[in-house]
Structure 1
């Protein structure tokens, strides 16, 4: 019996189509796997079901009855529970309070029934007692827990909803093998009770261990659904890739830069928060890509190289000399540059004019205590022009610019004084196609001029069309290196999803 059905669902954010045509049909008593590449639309589809995103069009049926999921409360009333990829825990509250936060047991209207709270939450904690650790108790503040324990609490919170339809968006990303095995035992029990489960994972072994059927989403559209028993990891990946298996460099884009300028940066057995035992070299004039699904250690590696925070162990050499970046200041003075796709957190200086946003690195590297605006502007304008930055005047506030032009300001600040290595951490996130074209044209020109560039992008096409080599990450480690003719979409997905 069909429990949940979505037909022709779509969602756009301005000119960006997050979901073009989503179809999904979930049976009662099944674990239904939803799979797709970064940005394919799978999380958007789940958020529509959970009521946190309103679709632009399409229909949603529960038990063959059309419904409108107007918000999270409406979803809960309709019997839908969700585990979000981004954890939503209250750190200063206890484990028990977080598990039952939506429905804290009351004693009268004002007071929480502490006895009922501890008893009910204890039942969910007991489900994972053998794998959670002794320090995970009902009274423990969530802020004291490890990452894996927090994820378990979020899972308990979803289970406590007792919803007939449960959605788990990458629930195992921080769990160890024993914790995953226990979680799967619980899911099989729920399935046997007739519950409907939507499961999103980036691990092919998990998908084939727990799933009954799999639906593939590609480029915002549902491609098809098949039973797990009748398919294989390679077949699933081919559904994800479609006909775009090759490199497929656009006609108007020059090929990736030629290398051979000697080693600029060498990394040996580097480990840190979010990544482990990473080794590679990047040459002058080379664009080295970091691929794989989002959150597999790529951004953590780039931030560690920039000293934010530094790595725990391993060795890094720059131009043959040992490099120790204890913080971003030391990284900048050593010749490293870092551009984040999160310009609001790591880039833009809000409330300040464009000139002050584009020149702070220049001031730091040259130890400027005082400088005339005219001299600063003279140094900044060539970098801004190279990126085709559109602005009325350097004295105007940074907030007067579009998102794409704000990102160009952030990038231009590193080009006034040329660095030795440019670290690009998903730099095109949230900018328009024109700004992306300007950025990659400049990246290729910088590489041709001998700059070493390390590029992480959550968009596979950006890596395939611009990187000379791609290191594919999974679980914080490099799983495969793709170079030359191996740089295909199929090989990229194959390594990212660990399809053996």
Structure 2
């Protein structure tokens, strides 16, 4: 049995303060829920305990004794195991290998002891055998598994450590009801054995079903700890929001949606991987926000509209004309643009000059085979200047720019030839405050000029400050629409957590 105490944990990444003051007291034989909005500091606090993040200040005590957790191996040696929100599996290895990857059994000091490995793995898998689904076994390669099955492997990996202190960072996000119920049965058993468990979840029903105590983190600070039996959902949400329930005041007020404006984008009965029965309209000059907890289908809907993901049902109408959107090429030709927050995966051409990164959409939309460099440079400079992009020359490689300026390049490429609809999929992810300010100033200008904009952001303030309406997503569907004075931080949280 282990008791864990964290006092005054602090972590900054440059000018970004991820954790201002993290406090947590974890007792043996309890499930301690950690809750807070996206970016509040929950995961950072857990990574400090797990040794994958080194704090700038604060102390960690295990059974009353100060400890220094120099890395993940040191954490394991101290009896701390973690399930990471971002899956850390080796895709080409088997389920058994992944479960015991940190400590594979060997024979002769060199070779993996396959018989021992598979026997140990089968004992862990047995707890989930009847809910894991077809094709799940110790020797199955992880790359062939479904998302829920991969998440089960990550859970098994944490359970296999047999650590006295276990941390689960949103472990149920991809699981079905039967899998969640089985996981909770196991947690209750471990709790009865005296294990100390930190459990992060955005689902209120799960929090009240499994938790003993709950600690709320807001804006990087621990603000409250309560016994689950002595609190309720409304109190927890108020603690998460604090006093800021009113609509945050933007630096420039968002445009007021006018119902008389022409509809530029209409999506009806839209269903596909990760979303179902989604419907909405976007008027010219409107910024429509997608809100809700992270990973509830917002990005999938955008990518499907853009043709980067398939959709099985529903219709897409752009400027009054129906489109199948079978590919990004078709979406671009129809006047649709898509900007991803994952610029390394979906945006920049690594190592190539700025000019090459700026002009591929211009070539595609205008079906160009050749173009004058001077003419291209002239067209490329205008959106760069509008975004206040900092660079030396269009010939320099994009990797030489800061993250914020790289994202400005990705946005600028769509503005050389103005689209009718701009889909922004968490566009400010990982960029600094100054770059965010420049981006949103331009986004509001584009809306004022009549462009239809759909904005998903994992930061609630960005939605509240900039969106005319907010559609709250949960489990792939729209559960509530917030308009006018209803666009408050409290209502946004309440809609997301109530549905969850």
TM-score after normalising by structure 2: 0.97
Matched, 1:256 2:255: yes
C-alpha offsets along residues 166-220 of structure 1, whole Å, 9 cap, x if unaligned? Answer: 0000000111111101110110000011000000011100000000000000111
Residue 457 of structure 2: aligned partner:
457
Larger deviation, residues 403-412 vs 164-173: 403-412
Q: Does the 8 Å CA contact 1:264/1:319 hold for their aligned counterparts?
A: yes
Q: Does the 8 Å CA contact 1:233/1:499 hold for their aligned counterparts?
A: no
Residue 375 of structure 2: aligned partner:
375
Residue 59 of structure 1: aligned partner:
59
How far 1:23 moved relative to its partner?
0.4
CA distance in 1, matches of 2:302, 2:270: 11
C-alpha offsets along residues 313-342 of structure 1, whole Å, 9 cap, x if unaligned? Answer: 221111221111111111111100011111
Larger deviation, residues 226-235 vs 88-97: 88-97
CA distance in 1, matches of 2:402, 2:86: 27
Cα separation, partners in 2 of 1:276 and 1:61, compared to 1, 3 Å: same
Larger deviation, residues 10-19 vs 340-349: 340-349
Q: Does the 8 Å CA contact 1:463/1:470 hold for their aligned counterparts?
A: yes
CA distance in 2, matches of 1:109, 1:338: 52
Residue 422 of structure 1: aligned partner:
422
- Secondary structure at the residue paired with 2:252? coil
Q: Does the 8 Å CA contact 1:214/1:228 hold for their aligned counterparts?
A: yes
Residue 207 of structure 1: aligned partner:
207
TM-score after normalising by structure 1: 0.97
Residue 4 of structure 1: aligned partner:
4
How far 1:253 moved relative to its partner?
2.1
Larger deviation, residues 4-13 vs 424-433: 424-433
- Secondary structure at the residue paired with 1:55? coil
Residue 148 of structure 1: aligned partner:
148
Q: Does the 8 Å CA contact 1:5/1:26 hold for their aligned counterparts?
A: yes
How far 1:409 moved relative to its partner?
1.4
CA distance in 2, matches of 1:74, 1:8: 21
How far 1:114 moved relative to its partner?
2.3
1:268-287 equivalences under 5 Å are 268-287=268-287
1:8-23 equivalences under 5 Å are 8-23=8-23
Residue 297 of structure 2: aligned partner:
297
Larger deviation, residues 252-261 vs 158-167: 252-261
C-alpha offsets along residues 231-266 of structure 1, whole Å, 9 cap, x if unaligned? Answer: 00111000000011111213x322334434211111
Which residues of structure 1 form unaligned runs of 5+? Answer: none
- Secondary structure at the residue paired with 2:423? strand
Which residues of structure 2 form unaligned runs of 5+? Answer: none
- Secondary structure at the residue paired with 1:131? coil
Q: Does the 8 Å CA contact 1:257/1:285 hold for their aligned counterparts?
A: no
Q: Does the 8 Å CA contact 1:205/1:499 hold for their aligned counterparts?
A: no
How far 1:134 moved relative to its partner?
4.1
Q: Does the 8 Å CA contact 2:474/2:499 hold for their aligned counterparts?
A: no
Matched, 1:136 2:146: no
Residue 229 of structure 2: aligned partner:
229
Q: Does the 8 Å CA contact 1:290/1:455 hold for their aligned counterparts?
A: yes
Larger deviation, residues 407-416 vs 191-200: 407-416
Residue 96 of structure 2: aligned partner:
96
Residue 342 of structure 1: aligned partner:
342
Across the aligned residues of Structure 1 and Structure 2, the Cα RMSD in angstroms comes to 1.4
- Secondary structure at the residue paired with 2:25? strand
CA distance in 2, matches of 1:160, 1:167: 13
Residue 69 of structure 2: aligned partner:
69
Larger deviation, residues 42-51 vs 137-146: 137-146
Larger deviation, residues 1-10 vs 240-249: 1-10
Residue 391 of structure 1: aligned partner:
391
Residue 307 of structure 1: aligned partner:
307
How far 1:2 moved relative to its partner?
7.0
- Secondary structure at the residue paired with 2:461? helix
Residue 401 of structure 1: aligned partner:
401
Larger deviation, residues 305-314 vs 415-424: 305-314
How far 1:278 moved relative to its partner?
1.1
How far 1:499 moved relative to its partner?
5.9
Cα separation, partners in 2 of 1:104 and 1:399, compared to 1, 3 Å: closer
C-alpha offsets along residues 455-499 of structure 1, whole Å, 9 cap, x if unaligned? Answer: 001110000010000011122221211111111111111111126
1:409-448 equivalences under 5 Å are 409-448=409-448
CA distance in 2, matches of 1:114, 1:310: 40
Cα separation, partners in 2 of 1:366 and 1:499, compared to 1, 3 Å: closer
Larger deviation, residues 214-223 vs 272-281: 272-281
Matched, 1:239 2:239: yes
How far 1:444 moved relative to its partner?
0.9
How far 1:48 moved relative to its partner?
0.5
CA distance in 2, matches of 1:255, 1:424: 16
Aligned residues: 499
Larger deviation, residues 435-444 vs 455-464: 435-444
